[in-house]
Structure 1
């Protein structure tokens, strides 16, 4: 059976995935934002289920060809171009470009290598949450976590909502992943953890909701949420770990190891983009 292709385009007029404005003209949101790339390339988009079902040596199922990056027509103009574009995505681009430059430089420091970027963490977290909330046609939702995320995105004076953690790590691979509404289950902890995921060259971001004790050890990554109470424009020297021992394999966490499993929602995709320089 031919795999069902991902749906990225809805109606021209509908409900905004972020603010919930109804009967409004919808615009195309790039995930990741265009500022994350020096050049936005064409990609082939597939469901995570179909990508992970292919055995080694087998050909990947045909996906949906998307020009100029993965786009979802789900946001109103204000949320897309003002709330995210004008206020947060520029900072997101600064972070990803600085990390890319460091990778391209080939600089290897002795011992445990850490590189830092002067950045405003609140803008980075809002950019990540906003573009992940754009996933899914007609997916504006009211709930325990989605409503606080909406308020956080629309009001720059609010801290990161309680119960949300944002992890990040180096992702030096050409595979892009966007996941909304998945669950990481640990047999060891006998518990589950709901998460959203955004991975692309050169960084990965994992957002968890109300995670239980022990999941921080399993995820084992730096956390952005430690800066969740800072002012919107306040900057920090954000550490990026470059030691090869900290680089996760390209299919984590969507293809977990050991005693963990992942359950996916409908908005779980990966895409392959072309790069001009080899990575790890």
Structure 2
């Protein structure tokens, strides 16, 4: 159940625009601002209610004729990796993720651009400048962290940090009940490593280590192939009219 806030935030509704996931559909979003001393508390409540954060805005779909977007969160305490997930973890055991303050760097932006140009050249973020990227990372009033992943080096056992080139980045909010993965990107040339999956698995590990019950993955869009990966991480809950309910796909097997 969502907790109650002492002050009700103002919500706004966007005009319809073409849906980036389902051809022929139009999306609308309801949004509010995450600013001030209670931004973290508001972000907690709204995320538990199906909202996502982008900079200092919290939003969720409010489409008139479609309900395909469904909020997804992984049940961390019950999660057991599949055989393929264990293979991914083993393959990436030579990577170390360092937790950092939400500060944008030129190195991050270079990897971000490489990722977008290879994976989403025509997407809505394709024309983002370094300033745009810095705002995405730094324009936050909630507890946000940046995880940078690099290869292990000779001194990693002492410093606890990876060395060499940056291979993956995750922008993540820390909530009272979990970790919310806001955005992640990685070196597209390392395709065999399945770095996107590895970042989710590493966040599950981190949440479990911190005693947090959930990892929030944003929206699963039924009918969109690019969002299909989110239901692989079982068990998980989906947010519906009656609240968060356990979901299991009959198509998945371990």
**Structure (1/2) with the larger helix percentage:** 2
TM-score, shorter chain, exceeding 0.5: no
Q: Calculate the TM-score normalised by the size of structure 2.
A: 0.28
Q: Calculate the TM-score normalised by the size of structure 1.
A: 0.26
